[in-house]
Amino acid sequence: MKLKNKLIISFLIIILVPLALTVMAFIGLGTYQLSSMEKRFGIEDTDYESFSNPTAILSKMTRSIYQSMQNQAAQDVGAFEDTAYLDGINVELESRYSYLLVRKGEDFIYKGTKEEIDPLVQRLPDYGEYANTQDVGVFMGGEVQTLVKKLDLVFLDGSEGSAFIVTSVRGMIPQVKSLLIDMGLAIISILIFTSALLTVWIYKSIVTPIHHLEIATQNIKEGNLDFEMQVEGKDEIGQLCRDFEEMRRRLKESTEEKVRVDQQNKELISNISHDLKTPITAVKGYVEGLMDGVADTPEKQEKYIRTIYNKANDMDRLINELTFYSKIDTNRIPYTFDKINVRDYFADCVEEIGLELEQSRIRLGYFNYVEEDVLVIADAEQIKRVINNIIGNSSKYMDKVNGAINIGIRDVGDFIQVEIEDNGRGIDARDLPYIFDRFYRTDASRNSSKGGSGIGLSIVKKIVEDHGGKIWATSRPGTGTVMHFVLRKYQEVFHS
């Protein structure tokens, strides 16, 4: 859920939930209090409007007693001079927060309260005033604050008088007070509940993810990338957490890649240093031999000079590999693509390579099975680098006295396939998938007599793939290895 939607929902919850719960609480508590008043005071037809009009409830509370007094006056008015009867009526009124006054002539013959009632007495209506037979109370405000019901009487001796039911409005009804207290407590509870609900929700959806972000940031600050950030939710903060986790993952990969590259560079420098040291030592030795006159015959001198020349070529090849390696990392390999005749090109390569292999006493075989007019689009210099690196690798690890390398060229449809096979020691199946990786060596312990920068076959793979081709190897340990690579043939496109 989007953060915007969460804020809207939070706003609605703040308004609607307390309002709805307050209405429900009012209905529940009001129903309970109305029912309680009906049972306690014997009143009927109460409704929620009664809470806004306490006078109406006060009037209903004494309705039954007033009606009883009316009936008694019609049957035996003398009872209103009987203290026992009047005390009985007053006891009933006391339970309804009311009391009875009886006036005969100008004198009050019965007072059902001990309170000071002079201000009320002065305002009580005279006989015949507000005369009615209905249960209607007269509200008296000011300092009196009472509801008065009057019943006019004509006593047995013919004197006129009135009976008054006086109900205190100021005292209110305990149930109304209780309702107000309960409603106040209910509203406070509702607000606390709503606030707690929103706090938990917001904490879980906003504060908790931010706390996770804070911990993750601290880990990265301390250089620790080996952790996984827990991501929950689909809002903006959740998306931020996912982006942060993706950043952490990429940063970790970048750091690991940098460590790996640094390690490879160190290994490359170590390899190159080792491989340069060997021919340099040899060159120095043969030069010293010439200077000291050890090579005292033309044949020895020629042998020394040729050896120096070969060692210089070895150093030049290593330096070229290092230069080419730097170009691979920056994708700045200088290709010059031309149409090349397959038969002529590979024949020239084999002739040049054959001279070098003769010195290593390795027999070279060449088998070309393509037509004379077959062409490929390729960089002649870089494809030659591919062949030289593969054959140089085969020569380096040749362990047979009668070493042999065969080069075969085949036509395979839209491609020409080059196969360079040797009868060397071969490659184990577990190592075969990794031989084109940089610095990968099939023998863990480096043999100083073999040397090599460890990037020769990775350069081969890069060049072939940049030509749109593919390279792979097959091998049998103890029997030999075959390197296969394909190059796409050049085909004329004719437009009609």
Domain boundary among 311, 332, 353: 332
Segment 209-219 mean pLDDT: 81
* Cα separation, 60 vs 381, whole angstroms: 116
Judgement on whether residues 145 and 83 belong to the same structural domain of the protein:
yes
> Over 60: is that where the pLDDT of 34 sits?
yes
Q: Is residue 247 part of a domain?
A: yes
User: For residue 18, is it within any domain?
Assistant: no
* pLDDT tens for each residue of 61-119: 788 888 899 899 889 989 999 999 999 999 988 877 789 999 998 899 999 988 888 88
494: in domain: no
The pLDDT score that the predictor gives to residue 374 is 93
Phi-psi region of 233 (alpha: psi -120 to 50; beta: other; left: phi over 0): left
Q: Average the pLDDT over 355-372 and give the result.
A: 87
380 and 466 in a common domain: yes
Residue range 17-37: average pLDDT?
71
CA 32 to chain centre: 49
Establish if 5 belongs to a structural domain. Answer: no
DSSP alpha helices (H): ranges in 360-413? 380-396
Give the span between the Cα atoms of 496 and 435, in whole angstroms.
47
Query: Do residues 152 and 162 touch, judged by C-beta distance below 8 A?
Result: yes
Residue-number span of the structural domain to which 301 is assigned: 226-332
pLDDT category at 390 given cuts 50, 70, 90 is very high
CATH at 243:
1.10.287.130
Across 51-60, 338-347, 432-441, the highest mean pLDDT is recorded for: 338-347
User: Do 121 and 144 have their domain in common?
Assistant: yes
Co-location of 315 and 384 in the same domain: no
pLDDT value at 342 more than 90? yes
Q: Give the mean model confidence (pLDDT) for residues 409-425.
A: 93
- Whole-model pTM? 0.48
328-352 mean pLDDT: 85
More confident residue, 407 or 45: 407
* Model confidence pLDDT, tens digit, residues 226-249: 877 776 666 677 777 778 888 888
DSSP notation for 235-280: SHHHHHHHHHHHHHHHHHHHHHHHHHHHHHHHHHHHHHHHHHHHHH
* Token representation of residue 9: 């929902």
High-pLDDT (> 70) share of the chain, %? 79
Mean per-residue pLDDT over the chain, rounded: 80
> 332, 366, 395: which is the final residue of a domain?
332
Q: How many CB atoms lie within 10 A of CB 308?
A: 19
Note the pLDDT of residue 102. 93
Per-residue pLDDT, 190: 79
Q: Are residue 417 and residue 480 in the same domain, yes or no?
A: yes
**Is residue 415 scored above 90 in pLDDT?**
yes
What are 240-243's contacts with CB under 8 Å, separation 24+? 240/209, 240/213, 241/209, 241/212, 241/213
Per-residue model confidence (pLDDT) at position 300: 85
Q: In terms of domains, do 315 and 379 share one?
A: no
Between the CA of residue 125 and those of 98, 106, 148, what are the distances in Å?
18, 12, 10
The verdict on 309 and 244 lying in the same domain is: yes
Structure tokens at 77: 């008015």
Q: What is the arithmetic mean of pLDDT over 444-472? A: 74
Q: How many domains does the chain have?
A: 3
User: Is the same domain home to 359 and 299?
Assistant: no
Contact predicate 482/393, CB 8 Å: no
Helix (H, G, I), strand (E, B) or coil at 447: coil
Angle at 153 between CA 150 and CA 157, to 5 degrees: 155
As a whole number, mean pLDDT of residues 183-188 equals: 80
Strand arrangement of the beta sheet that strand 363-368 belongs to: 363-368, 404-412, 415-422, 480-488, 470-476
Mark whether 483 and 396 lie in a shared domain. Answer: yes
Residues 274, 352, single domain; the answer is: no
Domain match, 237 and 157 both:
no
Instruction: Please check whether residue 31 lies inside any domain of the structure.
Output: no
Residue 452: give its domain's CATH number: 3.30.565.10
How many Cα atoms are found within 13 Å in the side-chain-facing hemisphere of 175?
23
Stronger pLDDT, 441 or 90, i.e. the higher one: 90
Greater confidence, 100 or 218?
100
Residue 376 falls inside a structural domain = yes
Query: Residue 127: inside a domain, yes or no?
Result: yes
Say whether both 319 and 439 belong to one domain. Answer: no
Task: Evaluate the CA torsion angle 314, 316, 322, 325 in order and state its sign.
Answer: negative
Residue 448 located in a structural domain: yes
Q: What is the spatial distance between Cα 10 and Cα 235, in angstroms, rounded to a whole number?
A: 15
